[in-house]
Structure 1
């Protein structure tokens, strides 16, 4: 894979474009679903529901105790179809056992809210069903990814996301909050139409390196949770050090910059099984880096120039005249996330692919500390602009850290 032409040909031959489009559709459906419940549900019901969904978001990365993440990584490395099926069977049954423990803990948390919020236990019950469904979604999709059936993976993703959005629209419109709860509980189980015997036929198989496999899965889950926390911490810090007006302006300014990173993330996720399979191939990894930059350097430059030229019009069109004064903050954040695609998103996805997920965990923890310190210093001095600088600086420094450790790994390869 020396040339850009070969790089793109391999991407399309591997049906990577299907995976890329499925991530885009998932993002659009998620955004549309959020808008629907805001408009269709009363404020009180939406608030209570948001509490339960926030707890779901914390538990979601730990679905099956990281079984699907481990399957993705080690199933991609496995040499033959028989070995892939054995690994799938092992993680399928072990994952279900761990998932049951997770669901019991999740449901137990609802007891802390019983005296404060009406009907919240019922909401947690539906969310428990949804959380259990995501175990099957993740495992089934991982199986199709490791067996190079990206088109099937994309089809499952599209059916669950588009089907879920339609269910939310119809059931919430007619049955309000209970309709919404039924819709989100049913949606993940649409993936069961693609459940095959090949995924669980070796029920008694136990791999020799199972401790390493589960360690990888748990580190991946922890890293995902910490990374998500980074993009909640900025709002919490700004709210603590300033006021609700600054928070509103910051949320508007960061919405577009934070979402452009899906371009790099989706691209990397499309190639994750191939990268995992070639984790010891120095020439392949080096060539991949070169070709990635050939694509995304022009993309990032184009994004920056476009938004720089039309920043005022874009803010006015999407958010109204009230938020037009946020052009400076918008460009600071855009610069940070744009550079993040070339560093944080690239090397932060390469490290798990080569089995160095624990590095991501520690860098993510360090990022939380760095963001907190920077916000503490800069918000009192520069207000909301200070928060923008703190976030962009944190993204850049964490990206450089990922780059440093990946090149250390690359240097050690023969």
Structure 2
């Protein structure tokens, strides 16, 4: 009987996911991740390892800043529009975010360029790459708000197609441009791809351009929520790239940066699995966030599904880790144990962090996500300063794996506390 109830929960959860065009998001994301792996392989073939390591080093600096593009207004757009049922108001919120987000993004780019002159880069050309890559903030912001509006319109089909088109453009450009321009082609590809994808899909939003009307929700709290949500994403993103930055700083070997980047590529790419479900369902469960029965059932179904998925992936990585790494390059087989440790780590995100971090955002507690990520970041730096010199890139993997579980469980505890308080206010 108990097994039947578990099976029923999972089947109902998947069925609801499919009813919201989740299958489109799922398959588009899988294809996009495969194309991303292909693009990474292409870059590895056409670009010298040391040169690629320097580009990746600079790119990872920009990567952890990208979530703050537009000062987090894309995050505010999703939550506040989801809570607003008026179509005209949603249109107005989008225009407000577009205008103010563009100005904010340009300001961030200027700040990055200014700060770059005071950073003691240990790799030649790292500053130049960082300056050029900082311009990625504007096209990334545009792409994010276009995709956010598609989700708000419950148009998950076009949301899925937007990611697929982005990946196709990326693979085509990186193949052509890196062949002729080496690492310069890689940088141009990163800059141009989100812009082209945004221009194609923005017309599908059917936004009516008009004078922006001041709505009650377009206030300090609107900016505050987005700012903390973006800070949380920045720190979370930094948790993924801090290992690469510290490996480059402590070991001072660009090739080891490349090795760790590619060993962690598959585990981190698999994070698309919980993200697919959350991206498909976020607007829906935000609209129903104060329906405690709905949220309780959603949590049970999600956790059961991803517990099973995590167990399967851990078993596969244990028995077939060497073979999987050999598909990228035979020299990566030396780091099979590091790969397995990373797979255990991402299971903590599968089961806990991906779900409860987003539920905290749904109830307006993006600041709690920020504080959790900040604590994890501090622990990451302290731990890596000890483990990387002693164990190399395996030390970085151990730190990341432990913190993925730590932040997930802390998110669960935090959500339970703040959700009870939020329900009391509503009741």
TM-score (norm 2): 0.82
Q: 1:206 to 1:330 in 2, by over 3 A?
A: same
Q: 1:30 to 1:333 in 2, by over 3 A?
A: closer
Matching of residue 264 in structure 1 with residue 270 in structure 2: no
**Residue 163 (structure 1) aligns with:** 169
**Residue 295 (structure 2) aligns with:** 285
**Residue 395 (structure 1) aligns with:** 404
Matching of residue 233 in structure 1 with residue 242 in structure 2: yes
Q: 1:241 to 1:118 in 2, by over 3 A?
A: closer
Q: How far apart, in 2, do the equivalents of 1:179 and 1:389 lie?
A: 34
Alignment match of 2:347 (pick from 338, 357, 369): 338
Matching of residue 305 in structure 1 with residue 315 in structure 2: yes
Q: Deviations over 1:296-315 (max 9, x none)?
A: 22212222223333344444
User: How many matched pairs?
Assistant: 411
Q: How far apart, in 1, do the equivalents of 2:54 and 2:263 lie?
A: 27
Q: How far apart, in 1, do the equivalents of 2:127 and 2:225 lie?
A: 34
Q: How far apart, in 2, do the equivalents of 1:16 and 1:175 lie?
A: 38
Matching of residue 193 in structure 1 with residue 200 in structure 2: yes
CA drift at 1:186: 2.9
Q: 1:369 to 1:175 in 2, by over 3 A?
A: closer
Q: How far apart, in 2, do the equivalents of 1:48 and 1:383 lie?
A: 19
Q: 1:12 to 1:393 in 2, by over 3 A?
A: same
Q: 1:11 to 1:359 in 2, by over 3 A?
A: same
Q: 1:20 to 1:376 in 2, by over 3 A?
A: same
| Unpaired segments ≥5 residues, structure 1 | none
**Residue 84 (structure 2) aligns with:** 78
**Residue 40 (structure 1) aligns with:** 46
Matching of residue 203 in structure 1 with residue 211 in structure 2: yes
Q: 1:126 to 1:315 in 2, by over 3 A?
A: closer
Q: 1:310 to 1:164 in 2, by over 3 A?
A: closer
**Residue 359 (structure 2) aligns with:** 350
Alignment match of 2:283 (pick from 267, 270, 273): 273
**Residue 296 (structure 1) aligns with:** 306
Q: 1:148 to 1:177 in 2, by over 3 A?
A: same
Conserved in 2, the CA contact under 8 Å of 1:133 and 1:189?
yes
Alignment match of 2:229 (pick from 204, 220, 223): 220
User: SS at the partner of 1:195?
Assistant: helix
CA drift at 1:22: 3.3
Q: Which deviates further from its counterpart, 296-305 or 171-180? A: 171-180
Q: How far apart, in 2, do the equivalents of 1:243 and 1:127 lie?
A: 22
CA drift at 1:389: 3.7
Q: How far apart, in 1, do the equivalents of 2:396 and 2:56 lie?
A: 25
CA drift at 1:279: 1.8
Conserved in 2, the CA contact under 8 Å of 1:252 and 1:319?
no
After TM superposition, the structure 1 = structure 2 runs for residues 372-387 of structure 1, keeping only pairs within 5 Å, are 372-375=381-384, 387=396
**Residue 65 (structure 2) aligns with:** 59
Q: Which deviates further from its counterpart, 368-377 or 70-79? A: 368-377
Q: How far apart, in 2, do the equivalents of 1:339 and 1:279 lie?
A: 23
| Unpaired segments ≥5 residues, structure 2 | 1-7
Q: How far apart, in 1, do the equivalents of 2:305 and 2:160 lie?
A: 23
After TM superposition, the structure 1 = structure 2 runs for residues 324-335 of structure 1, keeping only pairs within 5 Å, are 324=333, 326-335=335-344
Q: 1:212 to 1:20 in 2, by over 3 A?
A: farther
CA drift at 1:147: 0.9
CA drift at 1:187: 2.1
**Residue 68 (structure 1) aligns with:** 74
